[in-house]
Amino acid sequence: MTGAAVLTAQAALRCGAGLVVSGIPESLNPIIESKLTETLSLPVSETKQGTFCAESFSDARERIDWSDVIVFGPGVSSSTDVRDFGIALVQSTQKPFIVDADGLRIFHHNLNLINDIEDLIIT
């Protein structure tokens, strides 16, 4: 669901974010690049199904550390690999965290993760 990622990036720009970087499974990067001209894309490793995976987190780690806010969920799918990626994301950062759509699945059977996030917005 690349449209969800595109809408999220555009919303961040409209809200005043100085620079928006969209982490995206590498096979979807050409779509994101053609739709978003004012943001950066960060193609990361993916599963055979074209979703985030454990290696995606390693690929994105530098940008995650650099970011002021993390958004996770729009368009990511509900696979176990994506859920594991999202959990790693939560556990590795103390940055403000926005979770939406399929990203909410990281809390299923893991409500204790909510306590790990100081600044959390759930939409």
What does each of the 123 residues of the chain score in pLDDT, given as a tens digit? 889 999 999 999 999 998 999 999 999 999 999 999 999 999 999 999 999 999 999 999 999 999 999 999 998 988 999 999 999 999 988 899 999 989 999 999 999 999 889 999 998
Q: Which residues of 27-54 are buried (b: 16+ CB within 10 A; e: fewer)?
A: ebbeebeebbeebebbbbebbeeebbbe
Q: How far apart are the first and last CA of the chain?
A: 17
CB of 87 closer than 8 Å to CB of 113: yes
Q: pTM for the whole thing?
A: 0.90
